[in-house]
Amino acid sequence: MALTDEAIDKIKQMIISGRVRPGEKLPREADLAAELGLSRNSLREAVKALSLINVLDVRQGDGTYATSLAPSLLLEALSFIVDFHRDDTVLEFLEIRRILEPAATALAAVRMPDEERTELGKVLDAADAGAPVEEFVKADMEFHRLIAVGSCNSVLASLVDNMSMPTTRARVWRGMTEPHAKERTLAEHRAIYKAIISRDADLARSWATVHIAGIESWLRTALAD
């Protein structure tokens, strides 16, 4: 194992074991290096690497802290990778959405707090099939984001959010080229919302699957043509 990898692993074990808790300050560099049996150079490289993926927060003049370790924070590295997706991988992101979003929607049906159900209804009511397609897609994405948050699973919500972004252009394209695409989207959103309001997890999962599969099917056909 490379020295830097060893240093990273030892700091990780400190956090996992509870020796350093989320938000707590790490010991001074010299003390930490001695405690872990590392050179200060290896320790610095490890700290730098862990700060890049939001595990550690280096504060100039203050010290190094463990971050909150919230899933949304740790998964920011995933969003960086997603930003570099190629157009020919959009179908793969839709396949992932088809796996994740029905699960999130089913959980939202039973877990979403009442005030969030009300907010979801407001977002749905504000959506207008006659709006410019970019504005419509923005509302579409907010509808899906609120459902993911309503699953009350922060890891799942972060994954859904990250997987949604690369499909934005495809959704705009569909709205511009497929007749009645926006009306169909709204009808499916209403069915999903009704299932969530009814707290029917199976129906919510089914409608979410139909909804995402429809987008995926359209894109496969469009790309083939």
Query: 3-69 has which fold?
Result: Arc Repressor Mutant, subunit A (1.10.10)
Given this model, what pLDDT does residue 87 score? 54
Distances (CA, A) of 79 to 15, 60, 159, 160, 204: 24, 26, 9, 11, 27
What is the tens place of the pLDDT at every residue in 36-83?
A: 888 888 898 889 888 887 889 999 889 999 988 887 776 666 555 555
SS3 (DSSP) at 64: strand
Q: Give the count of alpha carbons within 13 A of 85, CB side only.
A: 20
User: pTM score, two decimals?
Assistant: 0.69
Q: CA distances (Å), 139 to each of 40, 110, 145, 206, 215, in order?
A: 50, 23, 10, 22, 16
* Cβ neighbour number for residue 22 with a 10 Å cutoff: 13
The CATH number of domain 74-224, selected from 3.40.50.720, 1.20.120.530, 1.10.10.10, 1.20.120.80: 1.20.120.530
Q: Provide the pLDDT confidence category of residue 149 given band limits of 50, 70 and 90.
A: very high
